[in-house]
Amino acid sequence: MGYRVGVDIGGSFTDFAVFDEDTGQIHSLKVFSRPDEPGSEVIAGISKLNERYGISPDQITYFTHGTTVGINTVIQRSGLKLALFATENFCDVLEIGRLKTADMYHLLSRRPDPLITRDMVFGITERMAADGSVRSPLDEDSVRRAVAAAVEAGAEGIVISLLHSYRNPAHELRVKELVQELAPEMPVTCSCETWPIIREYERTITAVTGGYVQPRVAHYLTSLQKALKNAGVNPEPRLTKSNGGVMTAEQGKRDCVQMILSGTAAGVIGASHVAATCDIPHCMSLDIGGTSADIAVILDGEPQYGVGELIGDFQIYIPSVSVSSIGDGGGSIAWVDSLGVLQVGPESAGSRPGPVCYGRGGTRPTITDAFVACGFVGHTGLGYDAVSIDVEAARQAIGGLAAQLGSTVEQTAEAIIQIAVSGMFAEVSGLVSRYGIDLREFSVLAFGGAGPMLGCLLSRELGVKEIVVPANPGTLSALGGLIADLKNDFIKTVYLELAEQNLPTIQREFAALEEQAKAWLMQEQGTLQHAKLQFSAELRYRGQSYELDTLLAQDDVSSLSVSDIAAAFHATHRKIYQHADEQAAIQVISLRVLISGRNDKPQFVRHPMREGVPAPVKRIRVWLDGEFAEVDLYNRKDFVAGHRFHGPAVVAQDDSTTVIPDGYFCQVDEFMNLRISKEQTQ
């Protein structure tokens, strides 16, 4: 027995969650992130685990890791200079996209420049028909000319995305062979191997994103593997995936597009585990870190999934946990614009220099500095003593803005917090409309370093029934990596009418996907014991432009009938759109299989409930809701299950600070979560 370690690298801090396999205890740790030296923070954290908890590297039996290297590469546009090989006369696929306005409320908005410029797109003479038949054979001389032109133009990698390769990949694969013969040093990415979906732009942008980040991600993972070995960590690292699962580092090097959203997905998986453990049927996770605030909807302990998540300026179309960015993080910078209006974000202070109060060279005030200036933060250590809060420096930084605005330090600091909350409120309101949910039935699970600071303030505007702050909110994303199972998705586009004569084809293609899935799990895990299969299909009514992913069966589809598939689709359509046309013809666009293995999950300890009121550490003076107030400051380590107290109050702990406004009541539940709700008025 030993220790299972989960790591999540954020914009400001790198979080560690450690599960003791002998005692069931969960340890946490934070160290500063090192965007200038990705991976070095992981080694520094392993060293601190030994110093703080006596956990030596050779005691680590399992290591999982979420990283932002991929998404940061796209955001910073620091990936490879790529060439795109497209079917001749279809070379404008990235420029045309879906012809959508970048911002529907801004007529002068423009779409972002593509990751591959038009002069680096080269036409290949060939044509595959929509049914997979060859309309024009591949002209291999056109490939040779394209390779020569790409090399001459300085391409560092090549992406191949030919028309209808989701139905027949033969031309793409042959082009890849020729490129590897002519330029063996050149990394090559095929759209048919990345994620073979219908629609040219969606398939192409997903492949381009994967090719753009692959060398940097592969280099990072190789360096991490070596560093962990040198540090004495024996197990091969696993990586959290966008779909909420984990995979090996070796697979991550090949399929890096699958891990671009690994950090945010791991947070939702951790939140889902808390929601399931506490029997919270309707939950909205609120993850606020140093650079962003993200939300996800969790129903009956399960996160919602989708495709088309935003990666920087672009969508990618792989299966992923549905997470939406709704605002700024604790490190987002406050500033006054040319019209004298106070603004917050989108620029972030990051890990270095960080907020002014961290004393690491920051000079521009952030949301965290605003909480310090209001008196909520700065009374105890933060980040497991990684940070010593400089209150006076934060007040001076806010004071510079206050002078510009003709206001006091406290008023300006609270205005910064209110702007951040109002921006999140507007974004959540739009998402609520999209999901068709009633927030009065929902609990908000606030985590991340800044989630508990802002969670109650946002939730009272949203009108939710409860705010839940988990025992270790600042490291829940790292814990999510320990909870995630091995998981992978497989897809096959079939484009068939849902009819009896096509059922054998559907069954045959499902069987082939199932075989691929089991082979993958066997290779990754070495056993099919405890394997779980989920079968779904992307269906639509004939004439519709987009399809719905419809769950068909768990574990086995051999007995599915056409009527079963139709009934499942009608039910899904009715659930989402409130209507269904049971007489309309249905098309089967794609078949999907999801396979997962079982991971030994940390279990939260259930504590006996005891009546009582915790003793505050002291009374502190804060600026809250436009005036000074004396409030209780609690140390979360002093709480026991069953403790109850009233706001306004501040709860301090190593990895976060919870702000509870006036009119709210808090109880510590049997899993040591804070359950905060509005007090009932008589």
Closest CA to 488 of 507, 513, 512: 513
Find the mean pLDDT for residues 413-432: 89
Q: What is the pLDDT of residue 215?
A: 86
Dist. CA 54–CA 59, nearest whole Å: 10
Find the mean pLDDT for residues 53-76: 87
Which element (helix H / strand E) includes 176? helix 170-182
Helices and strands (H and E) in the chain: how many: 16, 35
Q: What is the pLDDT of residue 310?
A: 78
The CATH code for residues 487-596 is: 3.30.1490
Pick the CATH number of 3-73+219-258 from 3.30.420.40, 3.40.980.10, 3.90.226.10, 3.40.50.1220: 3.30.420.40
Find the mean pLDDT for residues 602-625: 91
What CATH class does 262-328+430-483 carry? alpha beta
Find the mean pLDDT for residues 232-246: 90
Q: What is the pLDDT of residue 575?
A: 85
Question: What confidence tens digit (pLDDT) does each residue in 299-310 have?
Answer: 888 888 888 777
Lowest mean pLDDT, pick from 337-341, 403-407, 575-579: 575-579
Dist. CA 263–CA 244, nearest whole Å: 9
Dist. CA 240–CA 249, nearest whole Å: 10
Q: What is the pLDDT of residue 681?
A: 58
Q: 3-73+219-258 and 262-328+430-483 share one CATH topology?
A: yes
Q: What is the pLDDT of residue 528?
A: 86
Question: What confidence tens digit (pLDDT) does each residue in 463-517 have?
Answer: 998 999 999 998 999 999 998 888 999 999 999 999 999 999 999 999 999 999 9
**Is it the case that residue 682 has pLDDT exceeding 60?**
no
Q: What is the pLDDT of residue 293?
A: 86
Find the mean pLDDT for residues 224-233: 89
Q: What is the pLDDT of residue 667?
A: 96
Sequence ranges of the domains in the chain = 3-73+219-258, 81-186, 262-328+430-483, 332-418, 487-596, 618-678
Percent of the chain with pLDDT over 90: 62
List, as one string, the DSSP characters of 8-58: EE-SSEEEEEEEETTT--EEEEEEE--TTSTTHHHHHHHHHHHHHH---GG
Taking the model in full, what pTM does it have?
0.87
Question: What confidence tens digit (pLDDT) does each residue in 167-211 have?
Answer: 999 999 999 999 999 999 999 999 999 999 999 999 999 999 999
Find the mean pLDDT for residues 127-133: 94
Query: What's the token pair of residue 104?
Result: 């529907």
Sheet with 188-190: list strands edge to edge. Answer: 121-124, 82-87, 157-161, 188-190
Nearest-5° Cα angle at 180, 175 to 185: 140
Lowest mean pLDDT, pick from 38-42, 280-284, 463-467: 38-42
pLDDT band with cut points at 50, 70 and 90 for residue 573:
very high
Lowest mean pLDDT, pick from 68-82, 614-628, 654-668: 68-82
